[in-house]
Amino acid sequence: MRSSASHSAASHSAASLAAARHHRVAALVVLFALVYLFAAIGASAAAWQRFAPETGPAASTYARWYVPDSAPLGEPLPAIIFLHGSGATPEVWFPFLTHIAESHGVVLLLPNALSPFGFGVGADDQAVDQFRELLAAEVMLDPARISIAGHSSGGAYAYVLGLAGTQRYAGIFSMSAPFRTVLSTGDDTYTPPVRLYYGEDDPNVQIVEPLTDMLDRLEVGWQLERQPDYGHNTFPLTTLPDAFDFLLAQRYQLGGPCFPTATRLCLRDGRFAAEVTWRDPRDRQGPGMAIPGGDDTTGVFWFFRASNWEMMVKVLDGCTSTDHFWVFASSATTLEYRLTVTDLQSDTEAIYENSLGQAAPAITDTRAFATCP
């Protein structure tokens, strides 16, 4: 019996020692995993840059932006503006969005709401527009592939801005959003399609029917993902990649024949196209890179750096005054350039040139196109 008891105690001691070793190993694995995870998140956060303007509608807030390493050099890039929910910040979404930006080659812009209660309390529309302009000054964006997305209150504000705002968006993705009324769309020529996500355990899922009824009334195309056993802040691992696939498949389409590119501005509902080429004293030359303006009458071009705009171009409707469309342009340069503005409806051109070494004059051509209406 003693021998048996002694053997049993020894076996128990050996088993306890083995278990303790197992737990220590498991703890070390978990520790190393956590260290790796937090290091990855830290590296991810370090790659995100920050806008904090001192003036303008966004002066009291900030935005974070990310350009993936996978993005091709020298090509216009798609972008997604993502709006966080009430009580959150842009940084909360870094672990979820960074790797998707890399896998999809898309630029991300994450504004911070003006109010701690989320988007839509203050003049967030103007702040988002300002951040979008700041991003366009830093990164060569594809104007036909800029979309907007968001979660919770940010998701609701995303479909409000995307459908009724003044900026153009190719597509909209809204996650777990409450209901907000949109009475009409802001763009008569193109309405961005909407993708919706709701978990079945999310209280907001009850607004799916009135929301989709509203989208139908506005004649907006939509897709819906509903998932059982998910709540307001949870979602399957496939939800965000699928949503990004949806957004990147969209292209903003103008009513007119102009299609915007990295070097072509489309003005006045796509009827007019503006392009410019330049040459410097060292005989370097190339096309001007286009940045659309706040409305469809205006845009700018840069030659060397996206943050250094070289030329602003406007096409105005002067039909009631001079029976012509007008072209106004200004440029603070002494480079040689050739600006071509084309009325694609009538296939006529107006060309403006500046000689190398000459200070560029202001262009105020009130008889540019005798093609009214």
**Which DSSP string corresponds to 296-365?**
TTEEEEESS-TTSEEEEEEEEEEHHHHSEEEEEEEE---SEEEEEEEETTTTEEEEEEE-TTSPPPPEEE
Q: CA-to-CA distance for 321 and 158, rounded, in angstroms?
A: 39
Q: CA-to-CA distance for 347 and 95, rounded, in angstroms?
A: 50
pLDDT grade for 75, boundaries at 50, 70 and 90 = confident
Residue 40 has pLDDT above 60, yes or no: no
Confidence at residue 44, expressed as pLDDT on a 0 to 100 scale: 54
pLDDT, average across residues 54-78 = 92
pLDDT, average across residues 192-205 = 97
Place of tokens 């196209």: 273
Residue 5 has pLDDT above 70, yes or no: no
pLDDT, average across residues 361-366 = 96
Confidence at residue 253, expressed as pLDDT on a 0 to 100 scale: 74
Residue 29 has pLDDT above 70, yes or no: no
Whole-number average pLDDT of the chain: 87
pLDDT, average across residues 296-322 = 91
Confidence at residue 256, expressed as pLDDT on a 0 to 100 scale: 75
Confidence at residue 23, expressed as pLDDT on a 0 to 100 scale: 39
HSE toward the beta carbon, residue 37, CA cutoff 13 A: 8
pLDDT in tens, 213-236: 999 999 999 999 999 999 999 999
Predicted TM-score (pTM) of this structure: 0.68
pLDDT grade for 46, boundaries at 50, 70 and 90 = low
Confidence at residue 34, expressed as pLDDT on a 0 to 100 scale: 36
